[in-house]
Amino acid sequence: MSTTIKVSVDDKVGTLELDNFAKRNALGAATVDEMLHALRAFERQGVRAVVLRTAELRDVWSAGHDIDELPVRGVDPLPFADPLEELLRAVRGYPGAVIAMVHGTVWGGACDLVLNCDLVVGDETAAFAVTPARLGLPYSASGIQYFLARLPLNVVNELMMTADLIPAERAYAVGILNRLVSGDRLLDSTYDLARKVRSRSGDSIRAYKLQATTFVRAVALSAQDSQWINQLRHDVYSGDDYAEGISAFREKRPPDFA
Ligand code: LCV
């Protein structure tokens, strides 16, 4: 029995709603597991377009990775096997369109989730913050690669270096949002788009999407550079900033990165 998401299907358009506002729809392992099951069920049912949204339209869409589940210092917080990393791969690999419908603020790994969706529709409350620099955390190499495929470097720099919220107007201007609509048009605009995609050739869209995500991953990297990337990340998650970032969140105080 799902406890943190709601799932429905209507004429090969699926809906997956985050429904755990008490924890600000944080993407913990249990929630991610339910979402992975939902995507697999959608695929079995031939769902051609998935709308990813929240059950309640509140001021927060999702608070991102469940910080309570992040490991302590000295352990990679975002390994390949991390549940949220697995969800991002599942969204990129879904053989149809995944469309994020955003009302409210989107934090950290939830930003990564939205930007791994194929299309993003938001209203004037939609805002996006990528937060490893708030937590003293080394972002995942695949996450950085995908952000760089999606947005200009200076915009990724702004997200990663400030960890500030980018508001809806600017999110639309820089390409985070495909559509920026008024709140009263958000549902209709999102499902009009989903039904449009659903009406097109599923075979053609499946082949396009899986090719596109394969091309995005196709980056030549020497073994030496791979090792260097791992070392860069190891030095951060073994360092003082990461310990301070996690402690500060748990103690509900601003971090002090001396
Ligand atoms: C667990 C939470 C969370 C949460 N985890 O409500 O991108 S990376 O690399 O950084 C990646 C590792 C990542 O995604 O990290 C997480 C990044 N997310 C954030 O930095 C956002 C952290 N959350 C907040 O700043 C606030 O909660 C927001 C602004 C989202 C909402 O603030 P609001 O005042 O409305 P509270 O902070 O009171 O949160 C309500 C409950 O949800 C928990 C939080 O601990 C609180 O639990 P209690 O009621 O038990 O105190 N919560 C919020 N975010 N990411 N738990």
Domain count of the fold of the chain: 1
Closest CA to 36 of 2, 13, 75: 2
62 alpha-carbon distance from chain centroid: 9
193 CA distance to ligand 1 middle (Å): 31
Tell me: the pLDDT tens digits for 192-233?
Answer: 999 999 999 999 999 999 999 999 999 899 999 999 999 999
Is 247 part of a structural domain of the chain?
no
* Strand runs labelled E in 147-219: 179-180
Is 215 part of a structural domain of the chain?
no
CA dihedral 101, 103, 105, 108 (to 10 degrees): -10
120 CA distance to ligand 1 middle (Å): 22
Tell me: the pLDDT tens digits for 240-252?
Answer: 999 999 999 999 9
Q: Which two tokens stand for residue 230?
A: 């791992």
Is 113 part of a structural domain of the chain?
yes
pLDDT at 2 over 80: no
pLDDT at 185 over 90: yes
At position 174, the amino acid (one-letter code) is: V
Give the active site residue among 14, 28, 64, 65: 65
Cβ(170)–Cβ(124) below 8 Å = no
Is 214 part of a structural domain of the chain?
no
Is 85 part of a structural domain of the chain?
yes
The whole domain housing 113 covers 5-199
Q: Model-level pTM?
A: 0.97
Tell me how far CA of residue 9 lies from CA of 37, 168, 236, 245, in angstroms.
14, 28, 43, 40
Tell me: the pLDDT tens digits for 74-103?
Answer: 999 999 999 999 999 999 999 999 999 999
Range of lowest pLDDT (2-11, 48-57, 106-115): 2-11
Maximum separation of any 2 CA atoms in the chain, in Å: 55
Mean pLDDT of the chain: 96
65 lines ligand 1 (CB under 6 A): yes
Cβ(53)–Cβ(100) below 8 Å = yes
Atom of ligand 1 nearest to the CA of 110: 14
The CATH code of the domain that includes 14 is: 3.90.226.10
Is 254 part of a structural domain of the chain?
no
- What pLDDT does residue 219 have? 87
Is 32 part of a structural domain of the chain?
yes
Is 165 part of a structural domain of the chain?
yes
115 CA distance to ligand 1 middle (Å): 19
